[in-house]
Amino acid sequence: MTDLAMIPIDQPVVMTDLNKIEDRLRRRLLALGFYEGCPVVVKRRASFHGPLTIEQRDHHQMIAIRRSDAKNIGVFLP
Partner 1 sequence: MTQKIALLGNPNTGKTSLFNRLTGSYAHVGNWSGVTVDKKVGKLHGNRGQLIDLPGIYDLDPLSADEAVVARFLMEDSFDGMINIIDASQLERNLQLTAQLLEIGKPIQIGLNMMDVARNRGTTIDAKQLATALGVDVFPIVARTGDGCEVLLSSIANKANTPLRIDYGPETEQAITTIIEQAGLLENERWMAVQYLAGNRVFVEYLETKAPSIIEVRKQLEHQLGRFIHAHITECRRNWAIAIRACSVVEEKSERKTWTDRIDAVVTHPILGLPIFFAVLYVLFHVTFNWIGAPLSDLLAAIIEGPISTGVVFILTQVGASGFIQDLLIDGVIAGVGGVLVFVPQIFVLFFFISFLEDSGYMARVAIVMDRFMQMVGLNGKSFIPMIIGFGCNVPGIMAARSVEEERERLVTIFISPFMSCSARLPIYAVFAGSFFASNQASIVLSLYILGIVLALLAAKVFSKVLAAEEATSLFLVEQPPYRVPQGLTLWRSTWQKGKGFVRKAGTFIFGGSVIIWLLAYTGPAGFDVNMNDSFLAMIGGLIAMLLIPLGFGTWQAGAALITGFLAKEVVVSTMAIIYAVNESELGRQLSGQFTPLSAYSFMAFVLLYVPCLATVAVIRREVGSAKWTWIASLYGLFVAYGISFLIYQTGQALGFS
Q: Which residues bind partner 1 (CB under 8 A)?
A: 18, 22, 24-33, 35-36, 43-51, 53, 58-66, 69
The smaller minimum CB distance to partner 1, of residues 32 and 77, is found at 32
Minimum CB–partner distance for residue 2 and partner 1 (Å): 21
**DSSP 8-class letter at 67:** H
The smaller minimum CB distance to partner 1, of residues 1 and 31, is found at 31
CB 7 within 8 Å of CB 67: no
Please say whether the dihedral angle defined by the alpha carbons of residues 6, 53, 63 and 50, taken in this order, is positive or negative.
Answer: positive
CA distance 62 to 57: 9
The smaller minimum CB distance to partner 1, of residues 29 and 75, is found at 29
